[in-house]
Amino acid sequence: MKLIIIAAIAKNGVIGANGSIPWHSKEDFKHFKETTFGSPVLMGLKTFESLGKPLPGRLNIVLSNLLDVEKEGENPVFFFKMNTALDFCRQSSFDKVFIIGGGIVYKQTIEFADEMVLSFMKFTVDGDVHFPEIDDKIWETEKEVDKGEFSVKYFKRRTSESKR
Protein backbone atom coordinates (compact mmCIF):
# COMPACT_ATOMS: atom_id res chain seq x y z
CA MET A 1 0.00 0.00 0.00
CA LYS A 2 1.28 3.44 -0.94
CA LEU A 3 0.61 6.37 1.35
CA ILE A 4 0.42 9.55 -0.70
CA ILE A 5 0.18 13.03 0.75
CA ILE A 6 -1.81 15.46 -1.38
CA ALA A 7 -2.03 19.16 -0.52
CA ALA A 8 -2.30 22.65 -1.92
CA ILE A 9 0.25 25.08 -0.48
CA ALA A 10 0.46 28.86 -0.81
CA LYS A 11 3.84 30.46 -1.60
CA ASN A 12 4.34 31.20 2.11
CA GLY A 13 3.57 27.60 3.18
CA VAL A 14 -0.01 28.25 4.31
CA ILE A 15 -2.51 25.43 3.79
CA GLY A 16 -5.35 26.60 6.01
CA ALA A 17 -6.99 29.46 7.86
CA ASN A 18 -9.67 29.14 10.51
CA GLY A 19 -10.44 25.53 9.57
CA SER A 20 -10.69 25.93 5.79
CA ILE A 21 -8.62 26.50 2.66
CA PRO A 22 -8.07 30.28 2.37
CA TRP A 23 -8.58 30.38 -1.41
CA HIS A 24 -10.77 28.87 -4.11
CA SER A 25 -9.19 27.29 -7.17
CA LYS A 26 -11.51 25.34 -9.47
CA GLU A 27 -8.51 23.95 -11.35
CA ASP A 28 -6.86 22.65 -8.16
CA PHE A 29 -10.14 21.12 -6.93
CA LYS A 30 -10.44 19.37 -10.31
CA HIS A 31 -6.84 18.08 -10.00
CA PHE A 32 -7.56 16.89 -6.44
CA LYS A 33 -10.71 15.03 -7.49
CA GLU A 34 -9.09 13.40 -10.53
CA THR A 35 -6.10 12.31 -8.45
CA THR A 36 -7.96 10.91 -5.45
CA PHE A 37 -11.20 9.61 -6.99
CA GLY A 38 -11.68 5.89 -6.37
CA SER A 39 -9.08 5.73 -3.58
CA PRO A 40 -9.53 6.09 0.18
CA VAL A 41 -8.75 9.50 1.67
CA LEU A 42 -7.45 9.86 5.23
CA MET A 43 -7.97 13.12 7.12
CA GLY A 44 -8.35 14.72 10.50
CA LEU A 45 -11.74 15.63 11.96
CA LYS A 46 -11.35 19.37 11.26
CA THR A 47 -10.67 18.66 7.59
CA PHE A 48 -13.68 16.35 7.43
CA GLU A 49 -15.91 18.95 9.09
CA SER A 50 -14.69 21.63 6.67
CA LEU A 51 -15.86 19.45 3.75
CA GLY A 52 -19.39 19.32 5.14
CA LYS A 53 -19.97 15.75 3.94
CA PRO A 54 -17.95 12.71 2.84
CA LEU A 55 -16.14 13.09 -0.47
CA PRO A 56 -18.06 11.03 -3.03
CA GLY A 57 -16.35 8.14 -4.83
CA ARG A 58 -13.83 7.68 -2.04
CA LEU A 59 -13.86 5.93 1.32
CA ASN A 60 -13.39 8.73 3.85
CA ILE A 61 -11.20 7.71 6.79
CA VAL A 62 -11.33 10.23 9.62
CA LEU A 63 -9.05 10.51 12.65
CA SER A 64 -10.72 11.90 15.72
CA ASN A 65 -9.79 12.02 19.37
CA LEU A 66 -13.50 12.45 20.16
CA LEU A 67 -15.21 9.23 21.10
CA ASP A 68 -18.73 10.56 20.55
CA VAL A 69 -18.44 11.32 16.83
CA GLU A 70 -21.76 10.63 15.11
CA LYS A 71 -21.54 7.85 12.56
CA GLU A 72 -24.07 7.23 9.84
CA GLY A 73 -23.53 4.38 7.40
CA GLU A 74 -20.15 3.05 6.39
CA ASN A 75 -18.63 6.26 5.05
CA PRO A 76 -16.86 7.85 6.78
CA VAL A 77 -14.96 5.40 8.94
CA PHE A 78 -13.66 6.93 12.19
CA PHE A 79 -10.49 5.98 14.05
CA PHE A 80 -9.06 7.21 17.32
CA LYS A 81 -5.38 6.52 16.47
CA MET A 82 -3.31 6.87 13.31
CA ASN A 83 -1.76 3.40 13.55
CA THR A 84 -5.22 1.81 13.88
CA ALA A 85 -6.40 3.66 10.75
CA LEU A 86 -3.28 2.57 8.85
CA ASP A 87 -3.72 -1.04 10.01
CA PHE A 88 -7.28 -0.90 8.67
CA CYS A 89 -5.98 0.36 5.31
CA ARG A 90 -3.32 -2.38 5.10
CA GLN A 91 -5.82 -5.12 6.02
CA SER A 92 -8.25 -3.77 3.41
CA SER A 93 -5.54 -4.25 0.76
CA PHE A 94 -5.88 -0.76 -0.73
CA ASP A 95 -3.32 -0.02 -3.46
CA LYS A 96 -2.99 3.56 -2.28
CA VAL A 97 -4.40 5.87 0.36
CA PHE A 98 -4.32 9.65 0.04
CA ILE A 99 -3.58 11.76 3.10
CA ILE A 100 -5.57 14.97 2.61
CA GLY A 101 -4.92 16.96 5.79
CA GLY A 102 -4.92 18.88 7.89
CA GLY A 103 -1.71 20.22 9.30
CA ILE A 104 -1.43 17.81 12.23
CA VAL A 105 -2.13 14.77 10.03
CA TYR A 106 0.49 15.93 7.50
CA LYS A 107 3.06 16.33 10.30
CA GLN A 108 2.25 12.84 11.58
CA THR A 109 2.52 11.16 8.18
CA ILE A 110 5.30 12.99 6.29
CA GLU A 111 7.87 10.79 8.08
CA PHE A 112 6.55 7.60 6.52
CA ALA A 113 4.56 8.58 3.42
CA ASP A 114 5.76 7.06 0.14
CA GLU A 115 4.90 9.92 -2.21
CA MET A 116 3.56 13.47 -2.23
CA VAL A 117 1.48 15.31 -4.82
CA LEU A 118 1.72 18.99 -3.93
CA SER A 119 0.06 21.92 -5.65
CA PHE A 120 2.21 25.00 -5.13
CA MET A 121 0.00 28.05 -5.52
CA LYS A 122 1.62 31.16 -7.02
CA PHE A 123 0.37 33.55 -4.33
CA THR A 124 0.63 34.14 -0.59
CA VAL A 125 -2.28 34.17 1.85
CA ASP A 126 -2.82 34.70 5.56
CA GLY A 127 -3.41 31.54 7.51
CA ASP A 128 -2.81 29.66 10.73
CA VAL A 129 -1.88 26.20 9.37
CA HIS A 130 1.33 25.52 7.44
CA PHE A 131 2.59 22.49 5.54
CA PRO A 132 5.57 20.75 7.20
CA GLU A 133 9.06 21.40 5.85
CA ILE A 134 10.03 19.23 2.88
CA ASP A 135 13.50 17.78 3.48
CA ASP A 136 15.44 17.51 0.18
CA LYS A 137 17.53 14.72 1.71
CA ILE A 138 14.37 12.61 2.04
CA TRP A 139 12.23 13.79 -0.89
CA GLU A 140 13.08 14.13 -4.57
CA THR A 141 10.93 15.75 -7.25
CA GLU A 142 9.97 13.26 -9.95
CA LYS A 143 8.16 15.74 -12.17
CA GLU A 144 6.51 19.14 -12.17
CA VAL A 145 3.46 20.23 -14.17
CA ASP A 146 2.57 23.93 -14.60
CA LYS A 147 -1.18 24.49 -14.31
CA GLY A 148 -1.25 28.30 -14.60
CA GLU A 149 -2.15 29.61 -11.14
CA PHE A 150 -0.22 26.74 -9.52
CA SER A 151 2.24 24.00 -10.34
CA VAL A 152 1.97 20.40 -9.25
CA LYS A 153 5.12 18.69 -8.01
CA TYR A 154 5.25 14.93 -7.67
CA PHE A 155 7.65 13.84 -4.93
CA LYS A 156 9.01 10.40 -4.20
CA ARG A 157 10.86 9.28 -1.10
CA ARG A 158 14.54 8.88 -1.94
CA THR A 159 15.51 5.19 -2.08
CA SER A 160 18.47 5.74 0.23
CA GLU A 161 16.07 7.17 2.83
CA SER A 162 14.11 4.38 4.49
CA LYS A 163 10.78 5.08 6.21
CA ARG A 164 10.97 5.77 9.88
Domain ranges of the chain: 2-157
For position 14, what pLDDT does the model report? 98
40-60 in b/e form (b: 16+ CB < 10 A) is bbbbbbbbbebeeebbeebbb
For position 140, what pLDDT does the model report? 97
Question: What backbone phi and psi angles, to 5 degrees, belong to 64?
Answer: -150, 135
For position 135, what pLDDT does the model report? 95
CATH of domain 2-157: 3.40.430.10
pLDDT means over runs of 10, the chain (164 residues): 98 95 96 98 95 95 75 78 94 96 96 97 97 96 96 92 55
For position 144, what pLDDT does the model report? 98
For position 40, what pLDDT does the model report? 98
- What are the pLDDT digits (tens) for 68-82? 555 555 789 999 999
pTM, two decimal places: 0.93
For position 69, what pLDDT does the model report? 57
Report the distance separating Cα 59 and Cα 6, nearest Å: 16
Pairing of strands 150-157, 139-146: antiparallel
Q: How many CB atoms lie within 10 A of CB 27?
A: 12
